[in-house]
């Protein structure tokens, strides 16, 4: 990734200096090579993702002063292909003495009659209030609105648990709407709906929707609300176990009516604070913050923390479930290719010809007996003391990411995460998986999404193995590519 030269803006008060190349990153076996992450230090939520002309803009919560959550700025990067990102100067910096003195928290970018406009949460003395900034030059520099905050207080009649994070849209009459993440005491998380003629004056309407605190927590973070074909989808980040869930339903009289219960988006549990855009081809593309699976001292010692998920494209499956697929643009990363097909398997099959820590794997498996178990082992050391096994069991319909032996380091995560994943009669298991050193993202049958973080200690934990531990099965096809770095 290339860093562009700094633009000059009177509103960028403390643009961090160019990061000098960090020599430790060269030797860091855990730092991803093709996922987006800042040149150094901290990243959390994706913010204000937008396609502007032929560029995708990715802003993100960033602490330029260390690998921990503090002094939150808006980092900024741009891409023409969703794969290769150029770092741009920090877009928003906290301004002392104003509503965002202690941080520029999450928000959204819209096109207001050709003017790029960010609505974000300013933090001062723990008070969270909506602020606005505009760009005069194709999103390169940003000017904060002098009248910030644009909403002076949360609704006076509500005892709210938070008032932050924004999703903004315009209706066909030109009126603007936004939802703000919150929760009511003693109830649960909620998204408050506001309306405005000009993005500056806002009228509170009512909750777009609210949840049950036992299920989705007392505050909803980062609500994202959008139409996908005929249906409406509400993503929220729940403070219960830091999970992202989504509701599907209708939007009638400015109220959201879900037609099903909340569903978990990531069954691995490392992705959070999802935000999406609709691109010029009509695709709904979503990103999220992938958190670390190791402690704060290790993150600080590494000098970086957090990364952006790969772009995922949402759609509806024939069974009306939400379809989740990696953006096809990621094929640009592919290097060396390994392929096999129509191979019956009833035991272990080490893959000697291909190995690595930056791989894409696509495998289609047909179970030839009712009870079956297929597994793929990644990042295995020659003695197998380090290994991560991803498997599927037909009986209980379970996808399993077993990180219990991923690392000899006892200070890092070692969980086993699993998800129910049902195959229709006669349907093959299709796994699509991206490994980027310490991060794994996987979609099963374009339907079940899982993330994991793994931190093998050994440089030779690069091996791969297929296995059938129960019943016979057929590998209908297996494709593995080594992937090129983008950093």
Our CB check for ligand DQQ shows the closer of 105 and 184 to be 105
**What torsion, rounded to 10 degrees, do the Cα atoms 343, 348, 349, 355 define?**
130
413 binds ligand DQQ (CB under 6 A): no
One residue of 119, 273, 462, 464 binding ligand DQQ per CB under 6 A: 273
Our CB check for ligand DQQ shows the closer of 45 and 402 to be 45
One residue of 139, 222, 286, 419 binding ligand DQQ per CB under 6 A: 222
One residue of 51, 61, 275, 418 binding ligand DQQ per CB under 6 A: 61
Q: Which of 146, 152, 122 is nearest to 134 (CA)?
A: 146
Answer whether 380's CB lies under 8 Å from 386's CB: yes
For the bound state, the minimum distance from the C-beta of residue 236 to ligand DQQ, rounded and expressed in Å, comes to: 11
Look at strands 473-483 and 358-367 and give their pairing.
antiparallel
User: In Å, how far are 223, 442, 444, 485 from 329, measured between CA atoms?
Assistant: 26, 16, 19, 15
Residue whose CB is nearest to ligand DQQ in the complex, by number:
105
Burial (0-12, 13-18, 19+ Cβ within 10 Å), 482: middle
Q: Which of residues 150-169 bind ligand DQQ (CB under 6 A)?
A: 164-165
Answer whether 199's CB lies under 8 Å from 257's CB: no
For the bound state, the minimum distance from the C-beta of residue 46 to ligand DQQ, rounded and expressed in Å, comes to: 10
Number of residues that bind ligand DQQ (CB under 6 A): 14
Q: E-strand spans in 327-372? A: 334-345, 348-351, 358-367
Residues pairing with 416 in the sheet: 402
Return the biggest CA–CA distance within the chain. 68
Residue of 11, 18, 45, 165 with catalytic role:
45
For the bound state, the minimum distance from the C-beta of residue 180 to ligand DQQ, rounded and expressed in Å, comes to: 10
For the bound state, the minimum distance from the C-beta of residue 131 to ligand DQQ, rounded and expressed in Å, comes to: 12
Tell me, residue by residue from 25 to 44, as one string, x for binding to ligand DQQ by CB under 6 A and - for no binding. Answer: -------------------x
Tell me, residue by residue from 79 to 118, as one string, x for binding to ligand DQQ by CB under 6 A and - for no binding. Answer: --------------------------xx------------
221 binds ligand DQQ (CB under 6 A): yes
Our CB check for ligand DQQ shows the closer of 265 and 481 to be 265
For the bound state, the minimum distance from the C-beta of residue 220 to ligand DQQ, rounded and expressed in Å, comes to: 9
One residue of 37, 39, 45, 256 binding ligand DQQ per CB under 6 A: 45
Our CB check for ligand DQQ shows the closer of 61 and 448 to be 61
CB atoms within 10 A of CB 387: 23
Chain position carrying tokens 């093709």: 34
Q: How many CA atoms lie within 13 A of 347 on its CB side?
A: 0
For the bound state, the minimum distance from the C-beta of residue 45 to ligand DQQ, rounded and expressed in Å, comes to: 5
Phi, psi at residue 213, to the nearest 5°?
Answer: -60, -30
Which region holds residue 293: left if phi is over 0, alpha if psi is between -120 and 50, else beta?
A: alpha
Q: Is 45 assigned a catalytic role?
A: yes
One residue of 93, 121, 238, 451 binding ligand DQQ per CB under 6 A: 121
Question: What residues have CB less than 8 Å from 397, skipping those under 6 apart?
Answer: 420, 421, 422, 423
The SS3 assignment for 332 reads: helix
For the bound state, the minimum distance from the C-beta of residue 269 to ligand DQQ, rounded and expressed in Å, comes to: 14
Our CB check for ligand DQQ shows the closer of 44 and 93 to be 44
Q: Which of residues 452-481 bind ligand DQQ (CB under 6 A)?
A: none
What is the rounded CA–CA span in Å between residue 144 and residue 196? Answer: 19
50 binds ligand DQQ (CB under 6 A): no
Answer whether 55's CB lies under 8 Å from 78's CB: yes
Our CB check for ligand DQQ shows the closer of 275 and 381 to be 275
For the bound state, the minimum distance from the C-beta of residue 266 to ligand DQQ, rounded and expressed in Å, comes to: 14
Computed on alpha carbons and rounded to an integer, the radius of gyration of the chain in Å comes to 23
72 binds ligand DQQ (CB under 6 A): yes
Q: How many CA atoms lie within 13 A of 449 on its CB side?
A: 29
What is the rounded CA–CA span in Å between residue 209 and residue 239? Answer: 17
Our CB check for ligand DQQ shows the closer of 288 and 445 to be 288
Active site members: 45
| Chain contacts with ligand DQQ (rule: CB under 6 A) | 44-45, 61, 72, 105-106, 121, 164-165, 221-222, 237, 272-273
């Amino acid at each position: 990734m290339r860093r562009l030269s700094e633009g000059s803006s009177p509103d960028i008060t403390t643009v961090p200096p160019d990061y000098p190349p960090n020599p430790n990153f060269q030797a860091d076996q855990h730092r991803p090579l093709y996922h987006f992450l800042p040149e150094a230090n901290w990243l959390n939520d994706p913010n204000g993702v937008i396609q502007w002309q032929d560029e995708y803009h990715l802003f993100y919560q960033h602490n330029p002063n260390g690998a921990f959550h503090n002094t939150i700025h808006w980092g900024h990067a741009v891409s023409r292909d969703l794969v290769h990102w150029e770092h741009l100067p920090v877009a928003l910096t906290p301004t002392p003495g104003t509503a965002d003195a202690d941080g520029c928290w999450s928000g959204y970018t819209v096109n207001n009659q050709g003017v790029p406009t960010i609505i974000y949460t300013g933090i001062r003395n723990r008070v969270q209030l909506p602020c606005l900034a505009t760009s005069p030059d194709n999103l390169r520099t940003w000017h904060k609105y002098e009248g910030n905050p644009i909403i002076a207080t949360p609704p006076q009649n509500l005892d709210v648990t938070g008032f932050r994070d924004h999703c903004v849209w315009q209706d066909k009459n030109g009126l603007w709407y936004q939802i703000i993440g919150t929760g009511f005491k003693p109830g649960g998380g909620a998204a408050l709906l506001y309306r405005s003629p000009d993005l500056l004056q806002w009228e509170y309407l009512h909750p777009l929707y609210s949840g049950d605190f036992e299920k989705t927590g007392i505050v909803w973070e980062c609500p994202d609300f959008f139409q996908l074909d005929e249906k409406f989808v509400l993503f929220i980040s729940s403070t219960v176990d830091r999970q992202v869930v989504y509701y599907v339903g209708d939007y009638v009289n400015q109220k959201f009516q879900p037609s099903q219960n909340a569903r978990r988006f990531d069954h691995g549990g490392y992705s959070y604070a999802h935000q999406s855009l609709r691109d010029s081809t009509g695709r709904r593309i979503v990103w999220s913050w992938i958190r670390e699976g190791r402690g704060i001292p290790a993150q600080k010692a590494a000098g970086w923390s957090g990364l952006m998920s790969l772009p995922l494209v949402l759609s509806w499956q024939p069974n009306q479930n939400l379809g989740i697929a990696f953006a096809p643009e990621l094929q640009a990363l592919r290097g060396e290719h390994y392929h096999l097909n129509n191979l019956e398997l009833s035991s272990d099959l080490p893959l000697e010809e291909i190995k690595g820590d930056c791989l894409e794997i696509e495998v289609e498996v047909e179970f030839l007996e009712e009870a079956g178990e297929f597994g793929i082992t990644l990042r295995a050391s020659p003695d197998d003391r380090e290994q991560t096994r991803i498997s599927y069991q037909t009986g209980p319909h379970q996808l399993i990411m077993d990180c219990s032996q991923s690392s000899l380091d006892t200070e890092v995560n070692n969980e086993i995460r699993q998800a129910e994943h049902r195959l229709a009669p006669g349907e093959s298991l299709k796994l699509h998986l991206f490994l980027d050193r310490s991060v794994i993202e996987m979609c099963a049958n374009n339907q079940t999404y899982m993330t994991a973080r793994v931190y093998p200690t050994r440089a030779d934990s690069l091996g791969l193995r297929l296995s059938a531990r129960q019943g016979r099965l057929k590998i209908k096809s297996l494709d593995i590519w080594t992937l090129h770095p983008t950093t």
